[in-house]
């Protein structure tokens, strides 16, 4: 390329950028933006005022902050095991992961079936709206409440935790799966229907193969969520696992060093799950 041609290209590029800058205008400040900013400023002021004027009884705010930092120092810089061994911690962490895996697999099985009827391009509008409305109600109730509801019949323990977590997982995955099915090209479905394919043939030959990568990704994402929920249910519902050991160390033994050790175990497994998830998503080339 000659020098003259290069200069022409540079000149045309600069002129195009100049035209873009001229067309780009900042949004004027309107009443809505002013209202939002004033609301944020007022909330920040009220938060600071609340911290400074709250009745802490005999506890001073800054002394409490220093004590909290000291507790964190003991937890994370002086961890040790007293009431159980290193092997027991690994076993309990695996129990928690198994609890999360079981609830995810059961929830994914039922969610896949119901999601086919919840997708608007595969079912009637009436059935789809009924399922989506019921699923919205399930998701609106926190998982711990579902566990406590089922604990009335099954009692506190792993059974109530599995049923409650599975119930919420089904509601979560139905929404994710059905939205993945609805993104399928309508022309493909119409072509299969026009060729005489049945509903089940459309599902197994077009819908599921096309959406398989999304299904795997959403299922693994729910598995990560269930792992965190299983830790909480181990303490709240007596489901066992590493969550129950943390509850005992923090409230019964009152040993912050042991709480720190358990926290490191939980962080290790959480990071391990995240690495596996990122590896799977990169291989599947799916962005969620």
Q: What are the tokens at 40? A: 């944020």
pLDDT for res 19: 54
Q: What is the CATH number of domain 86-284?
A: 1.10.3720.10
Domain ranges for the chain: 3-77, 86-284
Closest residue by Cα to residue 225 from 277, 286, 279: 277
pLDDT for res 107: 92
pLDDT for res 42: 93
The dihedral built from the CA positions of residue 87, 90, 95 and 96, taken in this order, carries a sign that is positive
Half-sphere exposure of 194 (CA within 13 A, CB side): 6
Closest residue by Cα to residue 84 from 271, 244, 237, 266: 244
Say what percent of the chain tops pLDDT 90. Answer: 8
> Which has more pLDDT, 130 or 17?
130
Percentage helix, strand, coil for the chain under 3-state DSSP, each rounded to 5: 80, 0, 20
pLDDT for res 27: 60
| pLDDT reading at 288 higher than 60 | no
pLDDT for res 79: 78
Question: In this predicted model, what pLDDT tens digit does every residue of 229-276 receive, in sequence order?
Answer: 888 887 776 677 888 888 888 877 778 888 888 888 888 888 888 888
> Which has more pLDDT, 126 or 7?
126
Question: In this predicted model, what pLDDT tens digit does every residue of 81-102 receive, in sequence order?
Answer: 777 777 888 888 888 888 889 9
């Amino acid at each position: 390329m000659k020098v003259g041609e290069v200069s022409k290209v540079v000149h045309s590029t600069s002129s195009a950028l100049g035209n873009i800058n001229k067309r780009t205008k900042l949004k004027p400040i309107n009443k809505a933006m002013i209202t939002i900013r004033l609301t944020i400023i007022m909330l920040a002021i009220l938060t600071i005022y609340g911290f400074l004027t709250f009745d802490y009884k005999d506890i001073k705010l800054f002394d409490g902050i220093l004590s909290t930092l000291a507790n964190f120092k003991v937890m994370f810089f002086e961890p040790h095991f007293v009431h159980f061994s290193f092997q027991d911690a690994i076993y309990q962490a695996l129990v928690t992961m198994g609890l999360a895996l079981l609830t995810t697999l059961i929830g994914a099985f039922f969610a896949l079936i119901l999601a086919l009827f919840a997708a608007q391009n595969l079912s009637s509008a009436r059935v789809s709206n009924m399922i989506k409305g019921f699923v919205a109600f399930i998701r609106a109730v926190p998982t711990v409440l579902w566990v406590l509801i089922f604990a009335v019949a099954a009692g506190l323990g792993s059974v109530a935790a599995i049923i409650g977590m599975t119930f919420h997982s089904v509601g979560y995955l139905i929404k994710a799966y059905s939205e993945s099915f609805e993104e399928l090209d309508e022309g493909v479905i119409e072509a299969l229907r026009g060729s005489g394919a049945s509903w089940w043939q459309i599902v197994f030959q077009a819908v599921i193969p096309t959406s398989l990568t999304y299904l795997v990704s959403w299922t693994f994402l729910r598995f990560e969520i269930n792992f965190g929920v299983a830790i909480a249910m181990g303490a709240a519902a007596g489901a066992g696992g590493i969550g129950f050991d943390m509850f005992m160390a923090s409230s019964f033994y009152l040993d912050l060093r042991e709480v720190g050790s358990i926290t490191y175990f939980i962080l290790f497994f959480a990071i391990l799950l995240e690495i596996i998830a990122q590896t799977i998503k990169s291989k599947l080339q799916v962005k969620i």
